């Protein structure tokens, strides 16, 4: 524990020094750091997807620095400091885990499983003054991730399908409506119905404990790998993709599929 505390003290000290001595660090504001923080989170995501734990360690450090940076700027404005941030989070964790931390009367909440923990979490948030269970879903989340979080929040409030078969029926229903919109060539209607198809598919994936964002990212990476293989082989042949027919490109594409592990 002492090693961890010393490391945390060290990074806080460095942040204080950078804020007072470095021209770039002195100039930063909470607003100017925002897009950089988002970039750092995506870099962490890439490292996790690559299963590169050394990079995960580095990216976690970058994100931690940003958290301390925001807190330092707020401290300069006499708003809050890093201790306030951490203690606020600690109090929130304690209050939202009554099955771990006893109430004032010494009683613990009994939960059967993780689903009950999630439901209790949402109920506790409402008691804290939230108007809607969906308030905790950030507006700027990527649409697919946002849809998944919305559905999880709704489930926590008890609003959900009972069986995956019901959700699949909804997928088929929405896809049928999308096809009808396509037949009418109504661009706005097509867009709306396609959104419904995606939302229903994400819901179906959730029922099977699948992460749709992770699934799509795997497909993205697979496509990139195959496409680059095809480009390399075509380049080795002395030609360009534009000189090949689709059937000729398919030959290289199928070769790429056979090289995958």
pLDDT in tens, 234-248: 999 999 999 999 999
Helix residue ranges, H only, 128-211: 143-156, 164-184, 187-207
Q: What gap in Å lies between CA 236 and CA 238, rounded to an integer?
A: 5
Q: Is the pLDDT of residue 66 over 90?
A: yes
Q: Is the pLDDT of residue 204 over 90?
A: yes
Closest Cα partner for 66 from 18, 99, 113, 107? 18
pLDDT in tens, 73-88: 999 999 999 999 999 9
What share of the chain in percent tops pLDDT 90? Answer: 73
Alpha-carbon dihedral 34, 37, 38, 40, rounded to 10 degrees = 160
What confidence score (pLDDT) does residue 112 get? 82
Q: Are 99 and 124 in contact (CB under 8 A)?
A: no
What mean pLDDT do residues 150-164 have?
Answer: 90
What confidence score (pLDDT) does residue 130 get? 75
Which one has a higher pLDDT value, 202 or 128?
202
Q: What gap in Å lies between CA 3 and CA 103, rounded to an integer?
A: 32
**Average pLDDT for the chain:** 92
What confidence score (pLDDT) does residue 125 get? 74
Buried b vs exposed e over 2-39: b needs ≥16 C-beta within 10 Å?
Answer: eeeeeeeeeebeebeebbeeeeeeeebeeeeeeeebee
Overall pTM > 0.85: no
Q: What gap in Å lies between CA 241 and CA 27, rounded to an integer?
A: 48
CB atoms within 10 A of CB 93: 11
What confidence score (pLDDT) does residue 261 get? 54
Selected from 1.10.730.10, 3.40.228.10, 1.10.287.1080, 3.40.50.300, the CATH number assigned to the domain covering 2-95 reads 1.10.287.1080
Q: Is the pLDDT of residue 124 over 80?
A: no
Q: Is the pLDDT of residue 26 over 90?
A: yes
Residue 148's Cβ-count burial label (10 Å; 0-12, 13-18, 19+) is buried
Q: Is the pLDDT of residue 163 over 70?
A: yes
**If you count them, how many residues does the chain have?**
261
What mean pLDDT do residues 53-77 have?
Answer: 97
CA atoms within 13 A on the CB side of 183: 6
* Domain residue limits, the chain: 2-95, 214-259
């Amino acid at each position: 524990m002492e090693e961890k505390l010393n490391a945390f003290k060290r990074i806080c000290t460095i942040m204080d020094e950078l804020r007072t001595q470095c021209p770039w660090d002195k100039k930063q504001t909470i607003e100017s750091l925002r897009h950089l923080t988002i970039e750092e989170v995506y870099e962490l995501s890439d490292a996790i997807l690559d299963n590169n734990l050394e990079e995960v360690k580095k990216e976690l450090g970058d994100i931690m620095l940003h958290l301390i940076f925001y807190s330092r700027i707020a401290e300069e404005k006499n708003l809050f400091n890093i201790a306030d941030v951490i203690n606020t989070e600690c109090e929130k964790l304690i209050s939202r885990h009554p099955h771990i931390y006893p109430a004032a009367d010494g009683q613990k909440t009994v939960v059967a499983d993780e689903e009950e923990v999630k439901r209790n979490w949402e109920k506790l948030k409402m008691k804290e003054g939230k108007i809607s269970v969906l308030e905790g879903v950030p507006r700027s989340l990527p649409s697919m991730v946002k849809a998944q979080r919305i559905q999880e929040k709704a489930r926590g409030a008890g609003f959900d399908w009972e069986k995956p078969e019901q959700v699949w029926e909804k997928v088929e229903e929405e896809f049928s409506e999308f096809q009808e919109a396509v037949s009418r060539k109504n661009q706005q209607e097509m867009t709306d119905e396609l959104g419904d198809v995606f939302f229903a598919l994400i819901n179906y994936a959730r029922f099977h404990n699948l992460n749709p964002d992770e699934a799509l990212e795997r497909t993205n990476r697979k496509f990139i790998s195959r496409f680059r293989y095809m480009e390399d082989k075509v380049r080795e042949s002395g030609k360009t993709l534009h000189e090949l027919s689709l059937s000729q490109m398919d030959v290289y594409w199928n070769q790429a599929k056979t090289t995958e592990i």
